[in-house]
């Protein structure tokens, strides 16, 4: 369970997310190894701890996606890695849903206004996009500074980096506005499970057909 007594006095919640995601991204690249163990500086059970874990999962999966695109990868190793990516996707989804549950608990006492509306995405799924943006910004910044690449490549990546930074600024503002609206009752939220069917042997027809054939 998440701690519910966190206060954010010097920055907004989304700004704090950006700081945590940037720190987790840097920590991953200190190891630059998909099998490394995260050195999470935040207390177990706190929302900060879970946000750090969220970005670590994303960073590991980012690099697994790089590895699996190697045209020379051994097919058996690729299949093993693909299944690991599938497990990582499920972990990511489960964590996003837990973060949304944190927000549901935090705003449980808020009574929505009569004309309150629901947002197109929940706070945690928007925060998920912030985490991915932290990784995009880190890697695009690296590309813009590559000494072994052409000046044209660096310029293109610098232009893309500027767009990513603007996108993060806009998304940060939008998330904080959404949380303010939920706190004020102008919007309400629900927690929807993703219900991924391909990971469930009871709903994936390939898996349950094979199980039935073994009877």
pLDDT band at 203 (very low <50, low <70, confident <90, very high): confident
Give the C-alpha distances (Å, rounded to integers) separating 53 from 122, 198, 206: 19, 24, 32
Task: Look up the pTM and report it.
Answer: 0.87
Q: Is the pLDDT of residue 2 over 70?
A: no
Q: What is the Cα–Cα distance from 97 to 43, expressed in whole angstroms?
A: 20
Average pLDDT for 50-64: 98
> What is the per-residue pLDDT for 74?
98
pLDDT band at 49 (very low <50, low <70, confident <90, very high): very high
Q: Is the pLDDT of residue 197 over 90?
A: no
Contact 95, 88 (CB under 8 A): no
Average pLDDT for 92-115: 96
Q: Is the pLDDT of residue 53 over 70?
A: yes
Residue ranges of E strands in the chain = 117-118, 187-188
The residue that leads in pLDDT, 66 or 208, is 66
pLDDT tens-digit series, residues 132-148: 999 999 999 999 999 99
Q: What is the Cα–Cα distance from 40 to 153, expressed in whole angstroms?
A: 35
């Amino acid at each position: 369970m998440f701690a519910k007594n966190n206060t954010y006095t010097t920055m907004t919640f989304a700004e704090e997310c950006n700081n945590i995601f940037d720190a987790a991204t840097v920590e991953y690249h200190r190891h630059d190894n998909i099998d490394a163990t995260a050195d999470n500086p935040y207390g177990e059970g706190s929302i900060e701890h879970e946000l750090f874990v969220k970005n670590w999962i994303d960073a590991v999966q980012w690099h697994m996606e790089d590895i699996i695109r190697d045209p020379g990868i051994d097919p058996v190793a690729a299949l093993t890695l693909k299944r690991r990516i599938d497990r990582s996707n499920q972990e990511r989804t489960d964590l996003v849903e837990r973060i949304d549950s944190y927000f549901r608990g935090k705003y449980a006492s808020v009574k929505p206004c009569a004309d309150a509306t629901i947002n197109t995405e929940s706070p945690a799924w928007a925060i998920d996009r912030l985490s991915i943006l932290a990784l995009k910004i880190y890697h695009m910044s690296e590309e813009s500074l590559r000494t072994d690449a052409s000046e044209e490549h660096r310029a293109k990546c610098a232009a893309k980096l500027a767009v990513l930074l603007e996108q993060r600024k806009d998304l940060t503002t939008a998330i904080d506005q959404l949380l303010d609206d939920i706190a004020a009752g102008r919007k309400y939220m629900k927690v929807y499970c993703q219900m991924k069917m391909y990971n469930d042997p009871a709903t994936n027809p390939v898996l349950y057909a094979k199980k039935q054939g073994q009877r």
